[in-house]
Amino acid sequence: MSTSMEPDTIYFDSAATTPLDAQALAAMLPFMTERFANPSSAHRMGLEARRAIEQARRAFACALDADEEGIVFTSGGSEANNLALRGLAPRLSGRRIIVSRLEHPSVHEPARVLAAQGFEVVTIHNDEQGYIDLDHLSDLLLAKKTALVAIIHGSNEIGTVQDVAAIGRLIRAVSPESWLHLDAIQSAGYLPLKPRDWQVDSLTFSAHKLHGPKGAGVLALYRRAALEPLVAGGGQERGRRSGTENTAAIAGAAAALDLNQSQRQERADHVTRLKLRLQALLAERIPDLRFNGDPASGLPHILSVSLHGILGEVLLHHLEREGLMVSAGSACHSNSTAVSPTIEALGMPGPLARGTIRLSLSHRNTAAEVERAVEIIAEQVEYLREVGKP
Amino acid sequence: MSDAPVLVVRYAEVGLKGGNRALFEKALVSNLKRALKGFDHGPVERPRGRIIVRSPAEPERVAAAAAKVFGIISVSPGVTTAPDVSSITTAARALFGSDLDGLPRGMTRTFRVQSRRSDKRFPMTSMELSAHLGGILLESFKGLSVDLHAPQMTLGVEVRDTEALLFCRSLAGPGGIPVGTMGRAVVLLSGGIDSPVAAWLTMKRGARAVFIAYHSYPFLSPASLDKVEALVKRLARYQHGADLFVIPFAETQVAIKQACPEPLRTVLYRRMMFRLANMLAAREGALALVTGESLGQVASQTLENIRCIGEVAELPVLRPLICYDKTESIDLARRIGTYEISIQPYPDCCTLFQPRKPRIKASLEEVQRAEADLDVDGLVAAAFDGVERKSFFP
């Protein structure tokens, strides 16, 4: 069994993480070698590192349409989501938190922490493609004073993209005080972000989803608010996130973002073409499957498929053996198969839900890889359906 | 002769083995030396009935390492001094005083002195020496009283012709027989709680474990194999290294699922596992198979099913846990350090292969009939062909 990327490996797991762009690596290296100083150091070496961080902050402020003061660097997307929910909610008025059922665990879990602190956490209904029900959201907002609404822009598991503009309008009309937090971690690499037009109050970003380094995330704030830090200490990031800044990762994140911005449309078009081709070929080759979400207008890079008569994780390991890396929408435990909350929210019958895999692409993938991947999947699905027959 | 630290290592059972005694003792010393590799210490000597480790640099840590070696009953960190009354008295006071520091102050402490002398030229009898030292200690330290039956502290003194050994504390060893002296046994290892405990008990009785594991990649995650490896690595400490043989088992399971009656699957999988273990035992020169089976614990562990499975074994099958309750196995697993590894949530059988309703009491006849349509020899040969060996060193 090989443990690293061999030449004929097909990597269809870009929603999990992506390899580093050469440009990002080049931007990082000096800060891991000669420019190693602590950005808080008062000497000129420290100042040099500080300047790099502030330069990255300007780049993020520009790309995310935020003020520089509104950019908080974190250790990644999970910390940024945690900071948004656990840092903001206690300082806002209202005791209700509203989340969608498609949220990433880094939103669901902090919401549970808040629930234990006395907040009432409620979830918004969604349809079978994962689109949230705006009427239900409106009812939830009207029923009780709401501190915060958290929505995932593009689902990390099924790719469904929410109509954030409509959500923003609704909140401002019904409950203008409520804070709207948008998890843009999967969408940032592919969709134009217009947080101010959408009347979003905060947004989260993660560098490693778009060929930046792991360990770099951003919470962008669009409205002034007191924020309870999760990490107290030396007062970095205006006291909102203490700890010596990861200068290299921040510089790498800015470089990856820069490259992504200049190529975003191109990358999105390429990936969309591949995804639609992948969908068409799978539909042609494999009976009894269902595409989740709304592939035609969802995130360009994510295709979620549920297959009858298959266990997602078992298929994953069979595909991996053939050199195709994907994710599953369910995990095998000792005596059961646990379906992820997002897949569960789609209301599929259990056996179909357990057969869910996620194929996620990047601009580095090719049409030939798509063809080959479909061959591998069709073969393995046929074999496993045969083996799985009762 | 000045006082120097020593470890006094006691063994019992190996002393009883008649003609094999020298062999066992030699094995014990060699196992002990290997367990102490990496620690700084002087010569390891074997005077009659005892092992003495000279000048350990960190007596506490060396004693703890020694106390894990099978065959050892107890280990006492102590000192050696000249075999005369005045040296013994001085050493007793120093050793007892430093150990007394470890006890809470302000309480009355009870103690006794236990002396033995193998050098009969020594001017006092054992009783006289104990009484003499007891008197000295009572004079030297406050708040002591003598209790011969259940003392809080015991000062041990052994007078030999060339030295006197004194010690205050002892660590219990695991007992048993030096590992390796009983030959080798193939242990069928799953990722569960029981089979590692069965392996440990087998090693404790002197057999060296050779591990076999069956892995159904790609129906299972490679991560479940990491768990098995972690278990072997942990168990390797008790016998100074271990070999794990991993057998690819997916094709066998697929074949059984497709050709045989569903309720009998579990018994049939296990019969194939035993056949593979036979082959490994033959190749590795092992004389027994070892499983973690416990009577009635799961469907495959009824007497009927154990019989059906065991029928294909070509060697004696040792089942050390056969009469253990689960809680007893768990307690032991915690003690030997495998429990935390075993409870990691990786499955060891894909749900796809598990029968919905396994047969609780299979008959030999129906099991043999079920295998009629199966290419048993071909499957076993193909699986054994894919065996992968992994060696672990502690």
Partners of A337 on chain B (C-beta within 8 Å) are 351
| Chain A residues with CB-CB distance to B350 below 8 A | 311, 314, 332
* pLDDT for B257: 95
Nearest-by-CA chain A residue for B192 = A334
Residue type at position B138: L
Query: Is position A62 annotated as part of the catalytic site?
Result: no
Contacts of A95 (CB under 8 A, 6+ apart): A118, A119, A120, A144, A145, A147
3-state secondary structure (DSSP) of residue B270 = helix
Quick one: which H or E segment has residue A356? strand A356-360
Residue A72 has pLDDT above 70, yes or no: yes
Positive or negative, the CA dihedral A279, A284, A286, A292 is positive
Q: What is the pLDDT of residues A337-387, one digit of tens each?
A: 788 999 999 999 999 999 999 999 999 999 999 999 999 999 999 999 999
More confident residue, A209 or B356: A209
Q: Per the CB < 8 Å rule, is A311 touching B351?
A: yes
Q: Do B222 and A1 touch (CB under 8 A)?
A: yes
pLDDT in tens, A194-208: 999 999 999 999 999
pLDDT beyond 60 at B1: no
A6-31: burial string, b at 16+ Cβ within 10 Å, e else: eeeebbbbbbeebebbeebbebbebb
B284-321: per-residue pLDDT in tens? 999 999 999 999 888 779 999 999 999 999 999 999 99
Interface touch B217/A390, C-beta < 8 Å: no
- What pairs with residue B5 in β-bridges? B79
Closest residue of chain A to B262, computed from CA coordinates: A390
Which residue from B217, B219, B347 is facing A334, i.e. has the nearest CB?
A: B347
Closest CA to B204 of B9, B337, B13, B33: B13
Inform me whether the C-beta atom of residue B143 falls under 8 Å from chain A C-beta atoms. no
Whether B220 has its CB under 8 Å from any CB of chain A: the answer is yes
pLDDT band at A336 (very low <50, low <70, confident <90, very high): low
Peptide bond into B218 cis (omega under 30): yes
Residues of A in contact with B262 (CB under 8 A): 390
Q: What's the confidence (pLDDT) of residue B2?
A: 65
Query: Which of A123-132, A200-209, B21-30 has the least mean pLDDT?
Result: B21-30
Please answer whether residues B328 and B193 qualify as being in contact, where contact means their C-beta atoms are separated by less than 8 angstroms. no
Among the residues of chain B, which ranges form H helices? 21-35, 59-66, 85-100, 126-140, 194-204, 223-236, 250-259, 265-284, 303-310, 326-336, 339-342, 364-370, 376-385
Q: Which tens digit of pLDDT belongs to each residue from A227-246?
A: 999 999 999 999 999 999 99
Closest CA–CA distance from residue B350 to any residue of chain A (Å): 8
Interface residue B357 vs chain A (CB under 8 A):
no
pLDDT digits (tens, 9 = 90+) for A340-351: 999 999 999 999
Chain B neighbors of A318, CB-CB under 8 A: 218
Domains with residue ranges and CATH for chain B: 4-172 (3.30.2130.30), 184-392 (3.40.50.620)
Domains of chain A: 10-19+264-388 (3.90.1150.10), 22-259 (3.40.640.10)
pTM of the model as a whole: 0.88
Average predicted confidence (pLDDT) for chain A: 95
Contact criterion met (CB < 8 Å) for A311 and B217: no
Chain B residues with CB-CB distance to A333 below 8 A? 345, 347
pLDDT recorded at residue B373: 87
Q: What is the pLDDT averaged over residues B185-201?
A: 96
pLDDT over 80 at A5, yes or no: no
How far apart CA A7 and CA B226 sit, in angstroms, is: 25
- The answer to whether B258 faces chain A, any CB pair under 8 Å, is yes
pLDDT at position B297, please?
A: 87
| Residue A1 pLDDT exceeds 50 | no
pLDDT at B118: 84
- Asked if B220 lies within 8 A of A317 by C-beta distance, the reply is yes
What pLDDT was estimated at residue B195? 97
Residues of B in contact with A390 (CB under 8 A): 262
CA distances from A174 to A90, A141, A171, A178, B230 (A): 21, 7, 5, 9, 57
Look at B15 and A179; give whichever has higher pLDDT.
A179
Q: Is the pLDDT of residue B252 over 90?
A: yes
Backbone φ and ψ of B156, nearest 5°: -100, 140
Query: What are residue B167's DSSP bridge partners?
Result: B78, B156
Q: What would the mean pLDDT of B206-213 be, rounded to a whole number? A: 97
Mutation choice for A interface testing from B219, B249, B258, B353 by most A CBs within 10 A: B219
The percent helix, strand, coil of chain A (3-state, each to 5) is 45, 15, 40
A332 vs A222, residue with greater confidence: A222
- Tell me how close the Cα of A333 comes to any Cα of chain B, in angstroms: 6
Q: What is the pLDDT of residues B351-394, one digit of tens each?
A: 889 898 999 999 999 999 999 989 999 999 999 999 999 999 87
Tokens (6 digits) for A273: 């073409």
Q: What is the pLDDT of residue A333?
A: 64
Nearest residue of chain A to residue B344 (CA atoms): A334
Task: State which H helix or E strand residue A58 sits in.
Answer: helix A44-63
Which chain A residue is nearest to residue B252, measuring alpha carbons? A387
